[in-house]
Every structure is written in C-alpha cells, then in structure tokens.
Amino acid sequence: MSASPGAPEFADSYLVEVLTEFGLALKYVRAEGNTLYYLADDGSEVGVFDAASGFGSLMFGHNNPELVEHAKWLLDQQTPVHAQFSGYSYAINLAAKLNEIIRRELKTEDKFYGLFGNSGAEAVEITIKHAELDRGMRIKELKEGIEANIEAARSAIAGGARVSEAAAGLADGTDFDRLVAEVRRRNAETEARPPLFLALEGGFHGKLVSSVQLTFNEEFRGPFKALAAQARFIPRDRPEMIGKVVEEERAALLDVVVQDGVVDLVERDFPVFAAFLVEPILGEAGIFPISRELARSLREACDTIGVPLVSDEIQSGMGRSGTFLAGTQIDLKPDYIILAKALGGGLAKLGVVLVNEHRYRKDFELMHTSTFGRDGFSSRLALKFLEMLEADGGKAYQLAAERGAKAVAMMEAIKADYPDVVKEVRGKGLMLGFELHDQGKSADPEIREAVEHEALAFVIGGHLLRKHRIRIFSTASNLETMRFEPSIFLSDEELAQVDAGFRDVCQILRDQDASKFA
C-alpha cells in the first residue's frame, strides 16, 4: 500500500512534498531569458537564475522575444497546425533545413530522412521501431537466401547429390525433407529471440516503455524490464568489450549448401542487435563527452556487426556544444541522429530522428504516425529556431562556445581554490558539469546522512536557490555533478552570481558544517 500524499494538490503531491523538504517547491509565474520569477509573500516578483534551462531546452532563453513573436505570428497567420495525411507538410521544410545543416557538419552528401514525434523519448521510440523494422527486413532477406538455397539443394538431391554425414546427424538420418524441417525448426527458434540493443553505460535515452530499457540507470529501468527489448551496456572506456558482448550474444541461422554433390549445412550470422545508441556527450551520466577514439571504435564496431550507429543529440545538439551536433567535434559518423528539446525553440514540443538514406526503410512512413507528430506549428517554429541558430554566420554556435569557455574558466578557478571539494569540471560549450568530491566521509553527520539518502544535491540546490537565487540540479544519474546549461545569453553578471554561489557551497563543504546551509 502506498502512503497517502501529504500535499493537497491533485497532481504531483508527492513530488511537491519531497521538494518542499529541501525548499525547492516553488511556483514560477513568469520566465524571461535566463530568469524564472516567483512571487514573494508581499506579491513582488523574485528572479532566479536558471542554470537548468529546461534541462538544456533553451538555447535562446525562456520566452525568447523573437521566437514568441514568431509563434504568435504563426497562429495569427492561421497556420494549419493539423493537416494529417496530406503528404506535404511543413515538416518537409524542416527536414530539408536539418539536412542542410547536418550534411555540412558531417561533410557528406548523403540524405537523411526525418521521422517526427512529440518529445525526445518518443523520437528514441521511433528510432527503436525503425531499427527493428530494418532488422526484420535484414532477417527476411537472409531467410529468402536460405529458402533459395534449400530449393537449389532439393534439385541437387533429385539429380543424385547426397546429404553429408554431419547434416544427417542433425536430422537423424539422410532424408532431405527431414533435414529441411529440422533446419526450419531451429531457425524459427533463433528468429523468435527478441532483439537486443547496444548502449553505453551511464547513457540516458528517455523514460518511455522501450527507451527506458536503453537508459542505464537501474532505478529508472529495472522495474520495467519485462516490458521491452533489452540492451547490453558497454563501458565507455572499454570499447573492446563490444566484441566480447557480441560474441556472447552471437546466434546463427542454418543454411544449406551443395558442394561436389554433397548437401551440407553452414551457419549464417543472425542479426541479434538492432542498433547501437550513444550520446556524444553523456548528459544524465554526469556530462561526459566521449572521445574521438571511442567515436571511431563505435563506427568500426557498428560496421563489423552491421548495425546502425545512433547518435542521441537530444540534449547535446542544436548548438549547445558550440557546433550544431556535438558529435561533429569528435568526428562521430552516425547512421541516425535524434534531436528534440531545444529544437522547438523552448516553446513547441517535437522530436525527430534523421535516418541516413542507406539505412532508411520507407515502409515505416505508413506504419508510424502520431496525431501531433510533424504538426504545422512545431515544424514552422523549429524552422525559425534553426534560422536564428544559423544567422550571422553561426553566431549562436560561437556564443555557446565563448560563454561556455568563460563559465569553464570560472569553475576551474573555483576548483583551483577548492581542490579538496571540486573533483572535475567537464563538458563542451554550454553543456557543463561541475563535479564535487564524494562527501560521504564529511565530519558533519548531517552531510553524511544527506549523501547516504542521495539528497545532498537537493540540499545544495535548496541553498543555492534560497541564498543565491540560482536554480540548479545534479544530473539524473550522477548526483555529485551539477548540470550547467543556461542559454547563450549568459551574462557576466549571471556568471558572477554563480561564482559566488558555488564558492559559498564549496566553503560550507570544506568547513564540514551543514548548519551554514540556508
């Protein structure tokens, strides 16, 4: 039986209860730029610097005036939001613009076909479905080849060929029809195996039924294991494990060959894996950019296994890293690219997966739809967002890199002053992580207890909110790492505010004195 919720709300009452404990439950009433406003008891607005930025959804800040203006204009224009099943839609224009940008960055002439959904996790689910359709078609082609070989062998038998001893052993005799029946029975068994996915340890790919199985965090994934296909997770510092895992999961279909008048059996590798999903910068794992070497190993491994390499740029993409795709900086060559979050300008919900033409299965277009998927409003707003990103020779990308470098310099200076408290500063552009050392051995029992209950990040977040008016969270699966993902309009004043807040937290942790937390 679950405990009755303490807060009176009709939604999120338990969440409100938990956040209230840390002073994090606030009702924001207005948002602009990097600032969220709540109302103080006297009714005045209090501004809070938002380092979470919609978990990386706000490249141009909250309610960017140009985007808001455009959104209003789209509605005033009576843009057809819903015109499902008419073939042509604004999503086609959006896919064309996305192709222009990603082909430039990937230095390829290949075409990428867009499939649209409503969120990041949904775009991952679309990816999973498309990859499974592709795997199914690869299996079908393999089986058709085997059936053709069976018929060729049947003709050879009629012409006097004989069944080999090894094959006869399998079928309990030399009867060709029995052999074929046994081959088909065994192949059907192999085929009934559910697909597997490959993903990186620590990776995050969403929380829907299938996508959560590719999300490493056991707390999110574990209870729902029985619902969907599973992933094998590879440590990002040990790409050599890919070969080992592939070998462990290896399966084969039996095929029939005729050589020198003898019918024999051979094994054909069965496509066990549907896709390999990676984030070029692992976000929820604690902001870990993957290396150029890993990017190369992943490409090689996927080519060897014959599976598509999927780059989940839902959080790292859209310019946050300093380039449109974070993968561009490590020469990652994916077959699929997934985008969402910031793509809708922080105002519209949409997700898209872009599939390389060499991997694309066009039948999917008639199989997968969603009422709001590729709607006119989100597509046109995303087009405007991309226009803004690309304006002035890519000034937005430049700003992300420049403001990010300034933030890194600020955080590195804190680390230099507090090496006993700050473990590492990581990331690219404005996708940064500020990692603290484990405080589990603090002299203050309150701090130790907070670590034990995985609550220290909330305690720190509550202090920064109350005392410094900074809204910041740890990443979902690495509670020691604070996620810093503000918009490109990050000002020097805001940086100074974060500098003061972070230094205050470092001093409290160094003093091992939780009583100083506000």
* 125 part of the interface to ligand PMP, by CB under 6 A: no
Question: Contact letters (x/-) for ligand PMP, 50-89, by CB under 6 A?
Answer: -----x----------------------------------
**Candidate ranges 16-24, 113-121, 157-165, 496-504; the one touching ligand PMP (CB under 6 A):** 113-121
Kindly state the smallest distance separating residue 341's Cβ from ligand PMP, in Å.
Answer: 6
Torsion over CA: 323, 324, 326, 327 (sign): negative
Assess 314 for contact with ligand PMP (CB under 6 A): yes
Residue 315 within binding range of ligand PMP, rule CB under 6 A = yes
Minimum CB separation of residue 62 from ligand PMP in Å reads 17
The distance in angstroms from the start CA to the end CA of the chain is: 35
Residue 375 binds to ligand PMP (criterion: CB under 6 A): no
Helix axis angle for 456-468 and 492-511, nearest 10°, is 130
Q: Give min distance, CB of 271 to ligand PMP, in A.
A: 25
Give min distance, CB of 311 to ligand PMP, in A. 10
Q: Site size for ligand PMP, by CB under 6 A?
A: 16
- Name the segment binding ligand PMP (CB under 6 A); options: 93-101, 117-125, 396-404, 444-452: 117-125
Listed in sequence order, the residues at least 6 apart from 318 whose beta carbon sits closer than 8 Å to its beta carbon are 59, 324, 339, 341, 342, 343, 385, 389
- 327 makes contact with ligand PMP (CB under 6 A): no
Find the part of the chain contacting ligand PMP (CB under 6 A) among 8-16, 41-49, 189-197, 311-319: 311-319
Q: Give the tokens for residue 2.
A: 């679950």
DSSP 454-489: T-HHHHHHHHHHHHH-EE--B-SS-TTEEEE---TT
Q: Which stretch binds ligand PMP (CB under 6 A): 118-126, 141-149, 151-159, 174-182?
A: 118-126
What is the C-alpha separation between 308 and 446, in angstroms, rounded? 48
Q: How far is the CB of 120 from ligand PMP (least distance, A)?
A: 2
483 sits near ligand PMP (criterion: CB under 6 A): no
Contact 349, 32 (CB under 8 A): no
Tell me how far, at minimum, the Cβ of 56 lies from ligand PMP, in Å: 7
Which is nearer to ligand PMP, 205 or 232 (by Cβ)? 205
Which is nearer to ligand PMP, 187 or 475 (by Cβ)? Answer: 475
**Residues 492, 495, 496, 501: what is their CA dihedral angle, to the nearest 10 degrees?**
170
Q: Is 355 exposed, middle or buried (0-12, 13-18, 19+ CB in 10 A)?
A: buried
From 188-196, 279-287, 461-469, 504-512, give the range in contact with ligand PMP by CB under 6 A. Answer: 279-287
Q: Minimum CB separation from ligand PMP for residue 314, in Å?
A: 4
Q: Which residues of 77-86 are buried (b: 16+ CB within 10 A; e: fewer)?
A: eebeeeeeee
Instruction: For ligand PMP, give the closer residue by CB, 35 or 211.
Output: 211
**Tell me, what DSSP letter sits at residue 224?**
G
Q: Would you state the structure tokens that stand for residue 427, as one six-digit string? A: 């990331």
Contact 475, 283 (CB under 8 A): yes
The reply on whether position 340 binds ligand PMP by CB under 6 A is yes
**301 near ligand PMP, rule: CB under 6 A:** no
Q: Are 390 and 100 in contact (CB under 8 A)?
A: no
Cα–Cα distance for residue pair 383/56, rounded to 1 Å? 19
Closer Cβ to ligand PMP, 314 or 451, answer by number: 314
Question: What binding mask, one character per residue, do residues 172-211 give for ligand PMP by CB under 6 A, x or -?
Answer: --------------------------------xxx-----
Give the span between the Cα atoms of 399 and 442, in whole angstroms: 39
Closest to ligand PMP by CB, 217 or 497? 217
Quick one: residue 345, left, alpha or beta (phi over 0 = left, psi -120 to 50 = alpha)? left
Instruction: Choose between 59 and 121: whose C-beta lies nearer to ligand PMP.
Output: 121
119 binds ligand PMP (CB under 6 A): yes
Q: Residue 279, interface with ligand PMP (CB under 6 A)?
A: yes
Over its C-alpha atoms, the chain yields an Rg (Å, rounded) of: 27
**What distance in Å separates the CA atoms of residue 244 and residue 420, rounded to the nearest whole number?**
39
Pairwise CA distance, residues 263 & 260, whole Å? 9
118 binds ligand PMP (CB under 6 A): no
Chain position whose Cβ is nearest to ligand PMP: 120
Smallest distance, Å, CB 200 to ligand PMP?
A: 11
Told to check if 373 binds ligand PMP by CB under 6 A, we report no
Pairing, β 281-282 against β 288-289: antiparallel
Query: What DSSP letter does each residue of 137-201 carry, written as one string?
Result: HHHHHHHHHHHHHHHHHHHHHHTT-EE-HHHHHHHTSS-HHHHHHHHHHHHHHHHTSPPEEEEET
Residues 433-462 that bind ligand PMP (CB under 6 A): none
Which of 426/463 has CB closer to ligand PMP? 426
CB of 312 to ligand PMP, least distance (A): 5
Q: Is 403 in the site for ligand PMP (CB under 6 A)?
A: no
If one asks whether residue 121 binds ligand PMP (CB under 6 A), the answer comes out as yes
**283 interacts with ligand PMP by CB under 6 A:** yes
Read off the DSSP letter of residue 88. Answer: -
Give the Cα separation of 205 and 94 in Å (integer).
Answer: 23
Burial grade of 391 (CB within 10 A; 0-12, 13-18, 19 or more): exposed
Q: Which residues of this chain interact with ligand PMP, rule CB under 6 A?
A: 55, 119-121, 124, 204-206, 279, 283-284, 312, 314-315, 340-341
